Amino acid sequence: MIVLGIETSCDETAAAVVTDAREIRADVVLSQLDDHTPYGGVVPEIAARAHLQHLDGLIRRAMAEAGIGFGDLDAVAATGGPGLIGGVIVGVMTAKAIAAARGLPFVAVNHLEGHALTARLTDDVAFPYLLLLVSGGHCQLLAVEGVGRYRRFGTTIDDAVGEAFDKTAKLLGLGYPGGPLVEKAAARAINPGRFELPRPMLGRPGCDFSFSGLKTAVRRHAEELGGSLSEADRDDLAAAFQSTVAEVLADRCARAIRRFKEDHPQGGALVVSGGVAANKAIRARLSTLADKHRMPFVAPPLRLCTDNAAMIAWAGIERFRLGQSDPLNFAPRPRWPLDPDAAPAIGKAGVGSGVKA
């Protein structure tokens, strides 16, 4: 089975060709970073126009790299949501057009399910497993029990962790995108223990997250330094922020592990996915936690943590081989929770909120 995947939910335009033998024949991603950096974040209108301008060319390139024609495809999969709705519409309409012109099945993929199933593409992880999904728009702990079967244990009540990285980077004058810049600054820190920061939700019952107070504490330290930060100040604050985030994530995961094992005494892997999963310090902390609880730890390769179309093609394969596909009147969704039965979070994040995954 060969599937073309299309991803346009935020600020990466991507196309990929993947087989059900877990072979990525082509994986093409065009970043819009230069377009959005002057604004300090993603501008939806700019993102949608860039998708429209570049997607057709990226699809042609992916098909050429895979060495196939459209007649060799078994299905077309595209991100159907959640995300910036203008970009999602571009990808969905392009996929529908290919499907209609070639008589192919169309599969609308939940972007979050793409992240959730990536570990099965890269490591053939068996169900069930515990997933920490951490990105710019989402921070969730989920039991992944099958394709389309997700139970959410916890989510953020305010900022997603990737959003907190971006806002902290902006406060420190590091630039955009925040995640890799904070990580680089933290690696340069001479005195990483210099600043004491609060650890939101640490030790609290449940598995929910909160990061807005942590961001506020970083700002307070910056203001106490007079607002004019030296490079050493920035590096030490970045290190304090990163280590605090890693500690909070590990604490929340530890609670989720106990709950997961109650429901699944046979065990399963601890999987981390999403853009923030590219952070090496967070990976290391979670790997140690998994070892402590005698669980396999799986983190996809860095290039498959951030938004990409290979994960969309694979999620399409997972659904299609179960006999699932979507009609051509499918409506793109700005919000699309993986667990529709989960209670709404208390705060601005809400269920299925955010755009950057």
**3 assigned ligand-binding residue:** no
SS (H, E, C) 103-167: CCCEEEEEHHHHHHHHHHHHHCCCCCEEEEEECCCCEEEEEEEECCEEEEEEEECCCCHHHHHHH
Interior angle at CA 94, CA 92 and CA 97, nearest 5: 110
**307 assigned ligand-binding residue:** yes
**279 assigned ligand-binding residue:** yes
**40 assigned ligand-binding residue:** no
Count CB-CB contacts under 10 A for residue 216.
12
> Across-strand partners of 154?
141
**274 assigned ligand-binding residue:** no
- Alpha carbons within 13 A on the beta-carbon side of 282: 31
**135 assigned ligand-binding residue:** yes
**136 assigned ligand-binding residue:** yes
**134 assigned ligand-binding residue:** yes
Non-local CB neighbours of 357 within 8 Å, separated by 6+ positions: 9, 10, 82, 83, 111, 112, 115, 133, 135, 136, 137, 138, 274, 275, 307
**159 assigned ligand-binding residue:** no
Closest Cα to residue 319, out of 175, 155, 120, 64? Answer: 120
**231 assigned ligand-binding residue:** no
Detail the residues annotated as belonging to a binding site.
111, 115, 133-137, 166, 179, 183, 279, 307
Detail the residues annotated as belonging to a binding site for substrate.
133-137, 166, 179, 183, 279
Detail the residues annotated as belonging to a binding site for Fe cation.
111, 115, 307
